[in-house]
């Protein structure tokens, strides 16, 4: 299926319908043509064996039976889920084409259904979770859909989600994934489905689900589907889409079933989301839902959600009023909170250590400031007292030098004045410690008389 095949066919199908209409395949008789795609044509069929009244959708592949195509019947036989269209039968037409009989889902694409019902953001998320459950189930059975888009996620008349069309699905046995088949689902295709030689796996479905969620929220596809194929592919591979809350503020050019173009304004888009105004709808989407969409739409497969279950878990968290753990994993504050919940004792111990270090630093700083303030007061006092001490020393020197004990007192006075000099130059607590050490050293080396040590403060 090459570029452009993702769009619903607008061909009348008269030739095909005339060629197949009324044809009998086993117990089924073909009715009107329901649609055409790159792989084949789908008809409404009626059971004619009289056992039960039943309708079904029959896909007839265009390629002959021996052509190398995935066996959709073999794939669907393994899947039995309420949100996946049931496989009923398969076989060969008289002209050698495979056909597949499936549950007929009389419904609308998920985005169209949500718009027509005017569903709120909350209700849209609930529909999306049902689609996630279906794909999560298929992945559990090693089946990758590879063509997820709104047209393949239908809502039936009872409001039940049904995923259809596993025509290009692959069974993935190992981690390497399967070689890309070239299938192209327009703006829902992942980068690895476009790039030549790439291998595809579960992340491709996660990307497509992210694109569907994006459109459910804001009406826009992540990238404009009306672009020419080459430019659309380039944007998918190289560019990051706007957050859906930003895209919601833009009008949308749409195509009707009749092929006519019309523009849907931002106010109308918001109103279809539970009657919201634009500002209200943007507020509901901005933040966590933006994060979830862009996380699923990451270019590198390994950087997206690891599983559909992880995507489901984050969306469910938003519905429950909680923070999405995986989409917010890059938020440092959120990571810290999660760590505290997982390992509370370790976090408490770490906080205690950090608090102790910070407290010690704060105490040391305050103590140093206090010492500096005390030293400054001492220096002020000494600056005021120094002239008087000098005058006293000079006045007494002639009288005291003749007496030995008086001379010793004069030496003590000289020592006090000498010790005051470095103190005035002190700037920190450690300078004060050094000066005290020098003073004590002078005392113990008998620079001053031992008898007068008791008189020195």
Number of helices (H), then strands (E), in the chain: 16, 15
Find the Cα–Cα–Cα–Cα dihedral 346, 352, 358, 360, rounded to 10°.
-130
Burial label, 8 (beta-carbon count in 10 A; 0-12, 13-18, 19+): exposed
**CB contact at 8 A, 192 and 199:** yes
CA distance linking residue 33 with residue 31, whole number of Å: 7
Q: H helices within 168-277, ranges in order?
A: 191-194, 202-218, 229-238, 244-247, 266-271
**CB contact at 8 A, 153 and 114:** no
- Number of alpha carbons in the 13 Å side-chain half-sphere of residue 222: 34
Please identify which of the residues 115, 147, 290, 314 carries the catalytic annotation.
147
SS percent in the chain: helix, strand, coil, step 5: 50, 15, 35
Lookup: tokens for 11: 């061909």
CA distance linking residue 234 with residue 229, whole number of Å: 9
CA 336 distance to own-chain centroid? 16
Active site residue 451: no
Q: Scanning the structure block, which residue is given the tokens 């704060």?
A: 362
3-state secondary structure 366-395: HHHHHHHHHHHHHHHHHHHHHHHHHHHHHH
The residues, ordered by sequence, that sit 6+ positions from 75 with a Cβ below 8 Å of its Cβ are 143, 166, 169, 171
CA distance linking residue 115 with residue 220, whole number of Å: 12
The residues, ordered by sequence, that sit 6+ positions from 133 with a Cβ below 8 Å of its Cβ are 81, 83, 312
Residue 352, helix vs strand vs coil: helix
Give the residue from 76, 74, 20 showing the smallest Cα distance to 43. Answer: 20
The residues, ordered by sequence, that sit 6+ positions from 11 with a Cβ below 8 Å of its Cβ are 36
Concatenated DSSP letters for 86-147? PEEEEEE-TTSEEEEEEE---EEEHHHHHHHHT--HHHHHHHHHHHHHHHHHHHHTTEE---
- Enzyme catalytic residues: 147
């Amino acid at each position: 299926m090459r570029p452009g095949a993702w769009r619903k066919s607008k061909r009348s199908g008269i030739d095909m319908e005339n060629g197949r209409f009324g044809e009998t395949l086993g117990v089924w008789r073909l009715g009107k043509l329901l649609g055409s795609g790159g792989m084949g044509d789908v008809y409404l069929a009626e059971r004619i064996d009289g056992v039960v009244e039943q309708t079904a959708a029959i896909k007839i592949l265009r390629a002959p039976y021996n052509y190398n195509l995935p066996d959709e019947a073999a794939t669907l036989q393994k899947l039995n889920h309420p949100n996946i269209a049931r496989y009923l039968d398969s076989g060969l037409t008289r002209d050698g084409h495979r056909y597949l009989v499936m549950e007929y889902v009389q419904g609308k694409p998920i985005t169209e259904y949500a718009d027509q019902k005017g569903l709120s953001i909350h209700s849209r998320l609930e529909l999306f979770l049902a689609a996630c459950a279906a794909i999560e189930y298929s992945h559990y059975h090693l089946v990758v859909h590879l063509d997820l888009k709104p047209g393949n996620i239908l809502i039936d008349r009872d409001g039940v989600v049904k995923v259809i069309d596993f025509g290009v699905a692959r069974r993935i046995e190992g981690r390497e994934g399967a070689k890309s088949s070239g299938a192209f689902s327009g703006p829902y295709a992942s980068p690895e489905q476009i790039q030549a030689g790439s291998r595809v796996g579960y992340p491709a479905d996660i990307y497509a689900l992210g694109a569907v969620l994006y459109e459910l929220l804001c009406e826009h596809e992540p990238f404009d589907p009306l672009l020419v194929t080459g430019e659309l592919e380039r944007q998918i591979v190289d560019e990051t889409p706007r957050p859906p809350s930003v895209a919601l503020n833009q009008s949308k050019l749409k195509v009707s079933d009749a092929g006519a173009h019309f523009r849907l304004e931002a106010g109308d888009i918001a109103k279809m989301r539970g009657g919201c105004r634009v500002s209200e709808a943007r507020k509901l989407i901005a933040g966590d839902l933006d994060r979830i969409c862009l996380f699923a739409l990451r270019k590198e497969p390994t950087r997206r959600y690891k599983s559909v279950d992880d995507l489901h878990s984050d969306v469910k968290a938003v519905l429950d009023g909680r923070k999405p753990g995986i989409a917010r994993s890059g938020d440092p504050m959120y990571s810290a909170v999660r760590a505290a919940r997982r390992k509370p004792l370790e976090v408490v111990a770490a906080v205690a250590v950090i608090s102790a270090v910070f407290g010690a630093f704060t105490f040391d700083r305050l103590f140093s400031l206090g010492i500096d303030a005390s030293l400054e007061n001492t220096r002020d006092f000494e600056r005021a007292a120094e002239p008087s001490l000098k005058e006293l020393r000079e006045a007494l020197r002639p009288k005291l030098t003749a007496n030995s004990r008086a001379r010793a007192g004069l030496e003590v006075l000289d020592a006090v004045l000498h010790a005051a000099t470095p103190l005035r130059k002190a700037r920190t607590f450690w300078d004060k410690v050094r000066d005290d050490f020098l003073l004590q050293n002078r005392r113990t080396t008998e620079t001053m008389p031992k008898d007068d040590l008791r008189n020195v403060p």
